[in-house]
Every structure is written in structure tokens, then in C-alpha cells.
């Protein structure tokens, strides 16, 4: 069906629609910060696209041709490229809006508790799953990112990031749910369960939750860094 082939494209558009519509709201003026958010999307996007190309070629995940338009670039559907713009844009907008409206930094001790609890879980899981490419790569990179942020990157946004990401998990489960087979007959993105834990949240591999955290943390880090540098 012609309509079915636009499924992934529609998911991207739907994810972007509301954040883009409110990006011009006068109190937030997120779109006007394009010098910050554009680089914050492009730089991590280049890294994740390279990762995506490698894992797709290795058969760790792939795409159902029934739900994509068939336009490819570097062995990835064009919809997958758009994913790394639409989702980070929506998440950076959410981060900015929540910060502007009411969000305050949480206590550093609470931030430390969350960080080291996550780090402990990630380290424990990856030590017992070295042979699973998706699990090991995602958990290793996120563990490194969290520890680097806590100890070496100045700024007080890590605690706020945790709050925002918890909020983002609501639309995350909807979007990723559809991509992995919830609410539709098949799945847009399939996974080789030999390369992950085989644990699902509904239809979503549990690794996706940490993969998403790593992506958005990189977006936020660059965004905050650029704004700080601009402010002098």
C-alpha cells in the first residue's frame, strides 16, 4: 500500500509538528536559537548516523521495506536520517521550554545518586553482556558520558536533564512503540535479539531507552556549551 510506505515519514513529521509549531512562542523563542540547536543536532547526528550505518550493515538492526519510501542514503532510509533531526529537535525544544517555564536544578547529591546508580547498573549489565553488540556499545558509551559529565563538564544542567528525560520518556514510548511494532501490524525497525538483552518494554528493546538517553544528553551538552560560550 502506498500509504503504508509513508509510515516512518509520518512518525517523524508527527514528532516534529508540535515542537516546531511552538518554537516561535515569544517567551521561549526556541527557533531563534538556531545557531545553538542546529550544531547540537548535527554533531551528535553525524556520530549516530555512522553508528547506524555500521550496525545496519552488521545486521544488528534493520528496516522493514513496507513502512519506508525506499529512498536510501549510505544504506540508511532517508526516514532514519530525518529521525536524527526530528527527535533531537523536539527534545531540545522540550528541554528549553521546561527550563524556561518552571524547571530548577535538583540538589547535587540527588544528581550524584541518580548518576552513580545508573552507572552501577550500566557497568553491571555490560560486564555480563560483552558479546551483545547493541547492549555493550550503548551501555559503555552512556556510562562514559555520564561519568565525564559528572566529573569533568562544568555546569549545573545534568540534574535538569534527568528530569526532562523522564518527561520525554512519555512520547518516547509512543514513538518507539510504533517503530518497533506497537499499534501496527509489523515493525518499522527490527532488531537482532542475539545482539541485545532480549528484554522489551512493550515492543521496545530496553537498550533503546539508554540509546535515547545518550543521544539527547549529547544534544543537550553541546546546546548548553554553545549558549555558555556565546554568553561569554
Summarised one tens digit per residue, pLDDT across range 187-206 is 999 999 999 999 999 999 99
The arithmetic mean of pLDDT across residues 67-88, rounded, is: 97
Question: Which residues does 193 contact at the CB level (< 8 Å), separation at least 6?
Answer: none
* Number of compact structural domains in the chain: 1
pLDDT score recorded for residue 154: 66
Residue that the C-alpha cell 529537535 belongs to: 89
Domain range enclosing 226: 4-231
Does pLDDT of 99 surpass 90?
no
- Asked whether 39 and 230 are in contact (CB, 8 A), the reply is no
Does pLDDT of 1 surpass 80?
no
pLDDT score recorded for residue 2: 47
Residue 104's pLDDT band, with cuts at 50, 70 and 90, is confident
Long-range CB contacts (within 8 A, 24+) of 179-188: 179/8, 179/11, 180/204, 180/205, 180/208, 184/7, 184/67, 186/64, 186/66, 186/67, 187/64, 188/7, 188/8, 188/11, 188/63, 188/64, 188/67, 188/68
Long-range CB contacts (within 8 A, 24+) of 193-200: 194/132, 195/60, 195/132, 195/133, 195/134, 195/135, 196/132, 196/134, 196/135, 197/125, 197/129, 197/132, 197/135
pLDDT score recorded for residue 232: 67
The arithmetic mean of pLDDT across residues 172-197, rounded, is: 95
Which string of DSSP letters, residue by residue, matches 191-220? Answer: E-GGGS---EETTEEHHHHHHHHHHHHHHH
Task: Report the 10 Å Cβ neighbour count for 202.
Answer: 11
Amino acid at each position: 500500500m502506498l500509504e503504508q510506505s509513508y509510515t516512518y515519514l509520518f512518525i517523524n513529521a508527527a514528532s516534529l509538528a508540535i515542537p516546531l509549531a511552538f518554537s516561535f512562542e515569544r517567551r521561549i523563542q526556541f527557533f531563534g536559537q538556531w545557531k545553538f540547536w542546529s550544531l547540537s543536532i548535527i554533531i551528535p547526528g553525524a556520530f549516530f548516523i555512522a553508528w547506524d550505518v555500521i550496525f545496519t550493515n552488521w545486521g544488528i538492526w534493520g528496516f522493514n521495506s513496507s513502512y519506508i519510501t525506499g529512498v536510501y542514503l549510505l544504506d540508511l532510509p532517508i526516514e532514519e536520517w530525518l529521525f536524527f533531526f526530528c527527535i533531537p529537535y523536539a527534545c531540545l525544544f522540550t528541554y528549553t521550554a521546561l527550563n524556561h517555564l518552571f524547571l530548577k536544578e535538583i540538589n547535587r547529591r540527588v544528581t550524584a545518586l541518580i548518576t552513580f546508580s545508573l552507572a552501577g547498573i550500566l557497568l553491571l549489565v555490560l560486564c555480563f553482556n560483552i558479546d551483545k553488540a547493541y547492549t555493550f556499545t550503548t551501555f559503555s558509551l552512556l556510562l562514559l558520558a555520564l561519568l565525564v559529565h559528572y566529573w569533568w563538564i562544568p555546569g549545573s544542567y545534568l540534574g535538569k536533564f534527568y528530569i526532562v528525560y523522564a518527561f520525554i520518556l512519555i512520547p518516547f514510548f509512543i514513538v518507539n512503540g510504533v517503530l518497533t511494532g506497537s499499534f501496527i501490524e509489523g515493525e518499522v525497525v527490527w532488531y537482532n535479539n542475539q545482539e541485545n538483552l532480549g528484554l522489551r518494554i512493550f515492543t521496545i528493546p530496553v537498550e533503546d531507552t539508554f540509546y535515547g538517553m545518550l543521544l539527547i544528553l549529547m544534544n543537550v551538552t553541546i546546546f548548553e556549551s554553545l549558549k555558555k560560550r556565546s554568553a561569554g
